[in-house]
Structure 1
């Protein structure tokens, strides 16, 4: 994340101004952070994952969004809007104009500038969502991925060796699928 704007703004102001902002911005407890552009490997990885997700989401009545759908995370004293690289929704939609609140799968593609935030603050926030069944972290600089998966007894982390089954869609995703055409 980049440096925050020097003053806090309201949620209403953020949502109103985000629609016309020339850059995507995430909202963290009143502070707004501009989002940097993505590298070629990052974009290819996102496209490759979407290519696997889209047929599965269509056949199950779900939706998969790449990079431009906000996810709202809120709890007492905390309000955040993030732009995950990919978000999958399988629950009925209410108002899609602002943000999703019930994703079942979130994918973040790690880069040098986002790695620390995606592994800490965002991970904590996403894993607090009752609807979330999986949080997939994919490295854009090395051939590596890990999946946080909700089990009845809590969260577990699977290091993807070759292939992983994505929760909520119950489909396989391989490292070969993720990194097809990506030179690292």
Structure 2
């Protein structure tokens, strides 16, 4: 995230100004953060994962969004709007204008500038969503991915993707080979 604006915005002011903004901006506790553009590997990883998710979502009557759909999170009484790289939603709702609030799967593509926030603050916020079944973190700089999967009792388990996994919510297999098809990234740093 970039530096916050100097003044707090209400949720209403953020949503109204976001419709007119030339750049995507996330809203965290009243502050607005501009989002930077993605690298080529980042965009290709997102496209590869979307290519696997989209047919599965359509078969199930779900929607999959890439990069431009906000997700609304309320944590500890504070509202936050994030732009995940990919979002899958299977719960119907009436208000389709502003943001999704019941995603079942969120995918963030990690880069040098987003890694820390995606793995800490956003992870904590996303995992607080009752509808979420999975949070997939995919590295854009090395062949590596981790999945937070909701357990039947409501807790979470964290899985490192070795070769392939079946995505929750989408119920579709996804392999590292599919994620990184046509992309050159470095080896996983074991140190």
State the Cα deviation string for residues 43-88 of structure 1 (Å, max 9, x = none). Answer: 0000000100111001100000000000000134210000000000
State the Cα deviation string for residues 9-36 of structure 1 (Å, max 9, x = none). Answer: 1100000000110100000010000000
Runs (4+) of structure 1 exceeding 3 A deviation are: none
> Secondary structure of the equivalent of 2:136?
strand
* Pairs aligned (count): 184
State the Cα deviation string for residues 113-146 of structure 1 (Å, max 9, x = none). Answer: 0000000000000000000000000000000000
Aligned match of 2:189: none
Aligned match of 1:27: 27
TM-score normalised by length of structure 1: 0.98
- Verify: 1:103 aligned to 2:103, yes or no: yes
Distance in 2 of aligned mates of 1:104 and 1:178: 20
Distance in 1 of aligned mates of 2:55 and 2:85: 18
- Verify: 1:180 aligned to 2:148, yes or no: no
Distance in 1 of aligned mates of 2:142 and 2:184: 10
- Verify: 1:158 aligned to 2:155, yes or no: no
Aligned match of 2:18: 18
CA RMSD of aligned residues (A): 0.7
Aligned match of 2:94: 94
TM-score normalised by length of structure 2: 0.95
Decide whether the 8 Å contact of 2:75 with 2:128 is kept in 1.
no
What stretches of structure 2 of length at least 5 have no aligned partner?
186-191
What stretches of structure 1 of length at least 5 have no aligned partner?
none
